[in-house]
Structures are given as structure tokens and as C-alpha cells.
Structure 1
Amino acid sequence: MLNSGNLVLYNSNSTIVWQSLLLRAGDELIRSISETNHSMGSFRIKMQTDGNIVMYPVGSLDAPDFAYWASITNFVGKNATLILDGNGRLYMLNISGAEVKNINNGAVPSNGKMYRATIDADGIFRVYSHNLIENGSQSIEWSAPKDRCTPKGICGINGYCDLISQQPVCACPPGFVFINQEQGNLGCNRNFIVESCAFKNDRIEYTIQELQNTIWLESTYAILSSMAKEECNLACLEDCNCEAAQFQGQECKKQKLPLTFGRRTQQEAGNPTTLVKVGMDSGRNGTTNPKEARGKVLQMDILVSGVACLSFALIVLAFSTFLIFRYRLWAYKKILYKANDQGLIDDVSLRAFTYNNELEVATNGFVEKLGRGSFGTVFKGTLSEERTIAVKRLEKVVAEGEVEFRNKMRSIGRTHHRNLVRLLGYCHDGPNRLLVYEYMSNGTLFDYLFKSQLNPNWEERINIVLDIARGIMYLHEECETQIIHLHAKIADFGLAKLLIPDHSRTLTGIRGTRSGYVAPECFGIVLLVIRCCCRSIDVNASENEVVLIDWVYGCFTANDWTNKLSLERMVKIGLWCIEVEPAVRPSMKKVLQMLEGNVDVPISPCARSSLQQNNIDYSS
């Protein structure tokens, strides 16, 4: 960077190969779009080999029809050079290096200034001074061309430039609106729909609107001579290919769009008149209504965009549906293959838990014990998703492989009913066998009957019995039906096969009388326990009330009931369920029908025998 402000590039021989303040023959400068957007702009300046400095629109030929300013310095000769020196002088050197032309008429700089020459975004070539003493204040020392509407294409296609108070203002001809209302230099589009010549519709009507004192780059395809303006109008209306016409003198030049490089000139006699063909719906009484036209164009754009978006959405939906169907079909086939291979279909609803990382953490080290049964101990826990669970740690289970244990868990997991406690998952981690159930916030039936501060009334106990009966009937007859709800629920179903055989037997023996919950007569015991609110065996009770069954038989024989009809019916059902001979016991479906009062309840064989021994009439 020299003191003059010139940026110079040297080769290895210290010869200047490029410098910022110099434009050699054949070089050109291209303006960026704006000060912040450095993409290629619309204008260029070129140092031609004939000695002329010429400005053109970007993308145009180096031809007079496209040039909009020239230095008229062809007398300098070939291979001239344009230089901007440190004093703000813009001048030319001939091939021998002699100064032959001062372009900006010899600027006289003051101290503390630096200069730059640039072609700006509006197509004007300017020399700027920067006052380094006054914080870099900038001034325009010289510019060309002086008319700011001169740069060709400054208002885009179909637009024209009108100089108002020395400022360029872009406008659209009749029947056109700005492509972008905020950026007039992008050009104009029609505000009406044009019917193709190949599909001419008689309903489409056009009119001719005039635009005075406006010139364009010619796009003429036909010239008609010796015509009046009215005849030129009619000739364009009757020609489907004619979109505009230039009328000057008695000459009519038919043109096609786009109209380019438009600008308005001084009002003088003989100036050309532009005749524009527009649709009848683009304005009224020969005038354009841009707001209405833009609205119609916008409506059409919205309609087309909406149809396109809807079509695209339907295509995406159809393709997505196809992919989902293919994926599910593939997954289903994979499951079937695995099922055939393993002899079962996986129940995807069960979750396999880890012992250390999940269940031990969920139960806080198995500290809160909920209860203990013949299968193991139950602990309270909470999963990470704030769901409370009950974790049963199985004890003395049969030693078996992980596959066998998992298969049994899935068998239990496929059993769902509103009156069964839901199995959520399991753990088979080394020697640890645990089951994860939904948490029953109201506790066990034992707690409800014997530990609760509220003694359940007769109706509540009847509902509990019905819930239990429905759950057992489902296990016996309806395992394919899957219902999930919250009522009285049965736990530990299906676990007997996991225990070592000696630990699945129920003890008997107090004075030779049945005392435990032996399946299937266990429901009868539970029914009697719920009805009487007494334990099946209560060592603290009086001698004749220690074993519930013996006491109930005694009460039944003595006909000792406080609520004869309802209680007697419940007891008779319970006695049927605890019959010694399995073949005599009713099915759970029959039990449920008796509980619901849909069938009569006769006297069971054992109860009849007891009545006979006491010489009591049982015919009723």
C-alpha cells in the first residue's frame, strides 16, 4: 500500500502486475450489488483496447446499443491506461506512457485527503475524496454520467426510470406492477393473466394504453409504415404476438416482452409513444389499478401455492404411509419368525429391569416392606418417572435358565383384567428373581378387613367378593379378554410353578379340620373371611371359633344369622366352594352367577350332611 493509497501487486522481478489505481486496456471493474452484499451487481466499466472507457450493464455485449456512457477518447490510441493518482486526478496514458487526457478536469486536492474511484450500485462512476483530518468525511469530487436515469437496466425488466428532482424513480407501464414493492429496481410483472396464442379464448379482452415520452431497447419483430396511431393500436390488438408497440412519426414497431432499458425522456414533439396491450380487468376507463391488480396476482399466487403444497403434502403422506406399512409388515414378519423359532410371541408390554441399577435404586435398598407371603417379600419403590411400584422378591424358586423364566413372565404378562394386579416387568439378574407390579395404594384385603380404622360395611364386602369372583372366572375361562381397570385385584396368580414343590403345598391339621387357602376352594375361604370379617384361623379366639370353617358350619346348622337372607346366601355359596370333592365344587362362572343372584343357591352336600346330623329339616 503506497502513501498515495494505491494498492500495488509486484511479481518476483519487482514488476507491477496489478494496482488498484490503474485500469489497463481490456480490464474492467464490476460493481457489487450493494455495500453489504458483494455478489455481482448490475453494472461494469471497461477500459477498451480502442482507447475508450465505456460503461455497460453486466451480461451485455460490448456494443453501442448497450453502452450508456463513454469517455470518447479513442484518439488516445490502442493499449491506453486509466490512472487515478494521489491528488485525485483521473487521467489516461497512451502506449508510450505520456499523459494525453484528463478525465475529471484536474481535481485540485487539499492536504489530508485520499481519493478512490468506483462504479456504484446505481451505475454511476464516481471519484470520492476522504478527509483524514476530519474523521474520514467523504465527498464526491466527480461523477459520470450526470443523468442518474442513464444507466441501462437500473429499473429491471419492464420497468422504466423517471428522473424526479434529479433523483431516479422506478415505475411500471400500464398493466404492470412491481415484482417487489420494496425494491423497484427488480422490475415489473403483468397484473393480469395472458391467454396463449395457441389457446385463444374469445372471452379474454384487451385494450391499448399509452405511455408518453418513454424509450426502450428495441425488441421489434415487425415494422409497419405510413400508419396513424389509431391504426397502430388496432394492428397490435389484432396480433396475438404483439405485446407492445413503439409509435413515432408514422412508423409502428410491434414488440414482444420483456421491455428493457426503459427511461422517460423530456417532453418534446416527435418523441416516441409506447402502446401497451393490457387485459380489460387490469384497470378501469383506460387506467391501471395497481392495488387491485396486485391483489389478483396475490390471490392467484396463493391459490397456485396452496394447490402445490396440498399436492406435495398428499404425496408425502402417501409415501410415509407406504413406508410405515412396509416397516410394520417387516416387523410383524420378524416377530412371527422369532415366535416360530422360539415357540412363543414376545409380550412387548413387559419390561426387563436390572437389579443394581434400577430395582435396588427404586426401592432405596429394599427398605420399605409392604408385606410377605408364601412366594416372597414385597417392597415399595418408585421409578424414575415418579411411578410407584410394588417389587416382589421371589424366594426359593426353582433354578432355571433365563429363557424359561422370561417365558413364564410373558405368560403371566399376557394376562390382563381389571381385577388382577398388573405385572409391569421382571428381573432375572444372576440369582435374583424379582417381579415388578403396579402399586395398590389401598393395601391388601387383610389390611382392609383387620387393620383399617373403618370397618367395611356389608355392601362394600359384597362388592369385594364380586370383584374377586370375576377375576378368578377370568383366569379360569376368559384369559383372551384383556381389560385394565382399578378395583379389588388378585395378586400372585401363576407363580406356583416357580416355587420348589415342597413350598407350594398348603398346611392342614388343626384338629383335622381344613384351615388354609387351598385352590380352588380358596375363594370359598376368602368369601367367608370377607363376610364374617374373621381370620380363617384365629388362635386368640374362643375354642369353637378358632377355625372359621368350623364356626360357620356351626352357625349355619344353628341358623344363627343376624341378616338371614343375604348372609345365608353368601355362606351357602362359600360352603359350596369349600366342598372336599373337587368335582362337586361349582365353576367360578357358576359362583359368579350365584353371587349376582342370577341362579338359586341350593344347600351343598357337606352342609346337608351337617343338618342331617343335627336332625334339621333342609328341604327349604
Structure 2
Amino acid sequence: MMPIIMLLPFLLLSAAEAQQQQGTSNVVKPGFSLTPKTNLLSPSGLYAFGFYEQGDGYAVGIFLAGLPQKTVVWTANRDSSTPLPADVKLEFRTDGRLVLHSAQIKETPLDISSDGASSASMLDSGNFVLNNSANRILWQSFDHPTDTLLPTQNLPKGQVLSSSLSKSNQTRGKFLLLMQQDGVLAMYPVDTPYTDVYGYWTSVDWGSVVPNTIGLPKVIDGILTLDGDGHLYLFNGSGNYTLNPASGNSTELLYRLTIEPYGIMRLHSHDMTQTGNWTLKWSRPDDGCKPKGLCGLNGYCVKDPDVDCECLPGYVPVKEGDWFSGCKMNFPAESCPASSKSKYTMNESNTQWINDNDSPFKSFTPENCSDACLQDCNCVAAFFKDGVGECTKQSLPLQFGRTNSSTVAFIKVGTSTLPKPGKKEHILIIIGVSLGVFAFIVLAISGFGIYKNRVMLYQMMPKNGNIELGVDVAPKSFTYAQLENATHGFSKELGRGAFGTVYEGAISNGQIKETVAVKRLDRSMLAEREREFHAEMKVIGRTHHKNLVRLLGYCHDGLNRLLVFKYMSNGSLADKLFTPEKQLSWDKRMEIACNIARGLIYLHEECEPQIIHCDIKPQNILIDEDGCAKISDFGLAKLLNVAQTRTFTEIRGTQGYIAPEWRQQLPVTDKVDVYSFGIVLLEIISCRKSMDSNLPEEEANLKEWANHCFNSGELGKLVNNEEVDKRELEKMVKIGLWCTSDEFPLRPSMKKVLHMLEGIVNIPVSASPASSLISF
């Protein structure tokens, strides 16, 4: 074992200084490039930075080139789900950026902050480093771990290791290991609060705690580190250090600590003198069923003897072989309140689940508990605590389930299952397919005839250069003169924003004129890069969703950059919230909140590539003639991302809606939109601005005021005593405060937010504003 006194100098050095002492490296300068056939090796050849195979393409990262397994230990652009093509190239540009490009994809920078980098190095420690001309470290992979900790690498307070989706797919997975602010190391499912309800392992129960007899200084408060001998040291600032059982001090062994795809933290070793596989040395937690969410919604974990997943009685897997996808009903669900007791039975199951209902019924028997759920059309399960006679009802979905012989769950199951295709149905299917094929052939022949006719007509048309709006997927390109004419010299101003001014205009759409909104972007906000501008316009033009304002066209003419959007006749959400005579009813405001959430889910998860809006606020939420809310300016985040990451973070967002990580220079994720949405939701609830200096000091900051009102039980003050259901108001405020958590990993995803807004998923009790980091 390495004596602790020998470990002190390493811990007291800054990460940058420590890594400069890791020996020699292979250094490259701007102009260097990599392809899938070339890699940047460390001096010993053990580690490599470059491309590795993932799925049917490639990804960029660091891997062990000196081992037959080519084990990946770090991944760039980890949340990009699209594999890179075989002709991809990675270039180290003269401005310090690392940029991917190919014939199939547009230029994509790596998520590496590299302003001013003049050299790049692959160290023998497994650390990839970018230096400036003074040889000072600007960025290093050791400060941004993915799922692996290597020897001499630290995990300081606030940082996480996030599991991969699978062993062959390094995309961010379902679990994380967090070094908490209180010095406790803990493990959670992603997108859950960091509380004991959701945590499934903590360092409080780990290893032996040895008193500090050598006076460790406070500078090492809250650090996990792995040394070269395979010892894990946890310094929590209380004068103690914690370590795992002895691993071995052979200089021939290489170690790595990884959080596995199924939520287990494992320490592996590899004998460098042999060609065998990695050897498991130590793992936590010991129970493979402990990671919560392992089996998805409505599925539970069993261990007999190996870890496996099963669905609730009456449920089947959503996707065979993928338990993360969970389970779905295999019986018809009756609408409420039309459900009939005779259509369901109650199945007893020895399983335990996270229960979001904090109001159990008292003095119940098991029979009373089961019957109470059976007669409640909103109930799908009832949990009974024997000995105390408590019964709690639960709606869908059920989450984080596992077997437990000491608890009883009563599951409501339909008496009939969903029909499977029988002989008669197979005949109907065959007939239907045959008719479909015949119809397709007829349509193909007709379509060819129409196409040939249209081509001839097109060739006869005069090419007069007139541009009209059409229904093409890509937005139209306009000249500045055309848009100047369409807006009558930009005479009717609709509004001003951080990135330009919006004017009303009219564009020809066939035989009629269509009213549009033309946004003239501030020239100072854009780089002079024609190719990037055109590429971004094509990306934005392909985004189609009911809750996004449609981009119809753009102008890239000289120094002029303009965007043409569909006109929204009912103005912005800001008009509706902050103008007393225009304020909407509570139900309409909640409908608008759901509209915004749906639009953000599309941007974050459903469009390709995904887009982070970065400037969600009421002024960017427009209302159409039907009262439907639509997000505008959703492309500007991508459009303006042509400079360096630091510049990009400095220019995005609006005061009062900016997430804390912008100012802390932390990696920007879609959780910045979740934060902004939380602020907007509080504004929707209270019909007031997030920052209002005209109000008393304690009320000026809406987030702080909402938190105060929640904790003091005075939520009525937020709505000026408007007649609102108290439980509904409490629910909405809870969601808003959860979304605005200062620590971005705590915030829920937008999909979970929408489910809570719609009542599909209950708000966890532990997600209250007062929730804090656990120490369980």
C-alpha cells in the first residue's frame, strides 16, 4: 500500500501541475489532423486519442491502444447519438479548435474548450491535454471524465462519472457516481433528485475510516482519487480518509475505476505482462439489483441467483431485450370514471417501489388496501405496510422496483388481454397487404406520368427569378432587397430582442400574400462564415413541430443576415402575462406551459441534430391565432455557435433566465433550457416578471420569493389570491423550483417535466425545494 504521506504531494498540487509531471507526451501543433485510420499515441503507445469503432461508424475518444481490448476510457461529444462516417476527419485548427467534418456531415466542433490552444498532447497517464504558447494547460480530459477514473486522476466535489448506455455504446447512460458538496460519494439514476429516496449507494457505508493522524490540510476537502496501486482514497475534509481493500502493488498492473452501464462501480486491473482480459478487483454496491431504474418503468429487478428483470403481472416489455425501456400494459385500460370493478383483479406481488404519494391511509387491512385500489380508477397499485396498517395508492408509472419479501404490493390487472392476431386476423392482414401493394403500383405509375408532365411544363416556364414561399423542407433564400421591399423599408416594427429587431412584412405565396415576421439580426453577433450560415439554415428549416414557430426563409446578402418566420397574430407570452387587461385564465396558462415543454422536448430529443435553445423567456414564446404557444428563435443557439465555446457562453441568454452554469464556465447542456423554463413557469403561475425592482426587496427576485412562499405555506401570495386549486398550485410551484435548481444534474429532463405537468407522473416527495444532498 502507498503510504499516505507519499500521496500528500500529489493531492496538494493543482490538477494542471500534477499532469505536467506525468512524463513525456506526443505533442502536435495546429494543422494536425486525424482519420479513423490514424491516432495520436502516447509516448509508450499505451493510450491513444482518436477514432474508435462505435455501432456502424466511429466516435472520438481516448482508448487503450496498447491492449488487445482497445478499452475506451474517455469520449468526446458523448451525447451525439449519430455514429461518424468512415470519411470523417478531425482537424486541429489554427484558432485552437478541434473540428470534425466529412462529406456527409457539417463541421462539428468537439466539446473541448480550447481557445488559444497552440499544442495538443497525449500523455502516458491517459490524459489528453491542450496547452497555450506558454505551455500552460487550457483543457485536459482528466478534468472532464466520462465513465472512467484512471490512476492519478481526481474526482473533485461537484463532478460525476456517468455510465455508458452499453459496453459497445459510450453514449451517456442511466446512472452516475457523484462526488457531493458535502464530501459524500453517492450513486443515483440520472434525472432524479440527489436525495436518499433515489440514491442507491453511498460512501458512508464504504470501507474502513481511518483517523487523520498526519494533519491533512483542508485543500483536499472532497476528493476521490485512484493511485497507481489500485487504492481508492476519499478525502472528505473531516480529517479522515477512506480506502478500499488492498488491491496489489505490482508495477505490472494497470487499474481503472468505471461506473458500468448497469449502475455498478467496479475497479478492474490488467496484467501488462499478459494478454488476458481485465480482472475485477472490487465493486459497489454488492447487490446488482440496488441500482434504481435498472428495469425501467413498471419493471422490477430479481436476483435468483443472477440479476434479471421482470414485468408487473399483466404487463409486457416495451422492447424485447431492452429492459431500460420498461414494461407496458397487456390489457385494455378503461377510461376514468367508466372503469368497472369486474374488469380488473388485484394480483399480490412481493415487490417494493418508489412511492410518490406521501399520504397513506391508516388502520387498513391487506383486504381493505387491495379493495381501495380496485375501486379507484386512477389507482394501478397499492402498497401495504404490515404491522402499521398503512396503505398507499399509486398511479402509473411505477418506478425503481425490486423484489422484497417483507413488503406487499397489490397490482391492478385487467381480466382480458390485448388481442393477438388469430387466423381470421391473419387473413385480413394478407388481404390488406395485397391491396396496399396494388395501390402502391397504381400510384407509382400515375406519379411517374404526372412527374413527366410537370417536368415538361417546368422547362417551358420563364425563368424570371421571382421567389415565392413554398412548402419545401428547406427554408427559402431571399435577397436583402426583396425583404426590404416586403417590409416596406422595415417600417413596421413588431419588437426588439438581444439579437435583432423584428418587422412585419408580406411575402407572395402563390396568388396570395402571406404576412410574415422578418428578423434583422445584429451584424455584430454573427461571424462572417457563409457556409456555416447556410448549413444552420438547413438544419433549422428541417425542424417542424406544432410548438415551434416555422422558419420560412432567410437572407445571407453581403453583411445582412435576416430570418423570415411565420407571423403569430396573438403576440408574445410576455404580452399576455405582464399586461393586466390581457392576462389569461389559470387553465389557459397551464396549457401554454405544456405547449412550451413539448416544443423543448422536440428540440432536445426528437430533432436531428438536437438543439439547445439557450434563451427561453416569455418574449420568445409566441401565441398563434388558436391560442397555441410556439417557441421562436430556437435556431439562434445553433446559428450563433460559430465562435469558440467561451464566446458562445458569454453571448447567450437573458438576465433573470440564465442558468448558473453559464457564469461558472461549466459545460452547457439542455439543462440550461430546463432552468429557463422553470423561471418562465414561475412567471406563468404568478403573472409577474422574474426580476422586478419595483417590488419590495424580498419579492424582487421571483425564484427566491417563490421558494420563500413555498416554505412558509403562503403560496396564495404568488397568485395574488387568484382562485386556484391549492394542490394544483403547489404542484406547479414545486416543478418550477425543481427546474431552477442551482445544480444542473438535479434538474429533471423536459420529458419528465411534461409528464408532471400533465399529471402522468407524480412529483416525487423528495423533489421539494428544501431537498439537499444526501448523507445516508
- TM exceeding 0.5: no
If asked which structure has higher relative contact order (CA below 8 Å, sep 6+), I would say 2
- TM-score normalised per structure 1: 0.44
**Rg larger in structure:** 1
- TM-score normalised per structure 2: 0.36
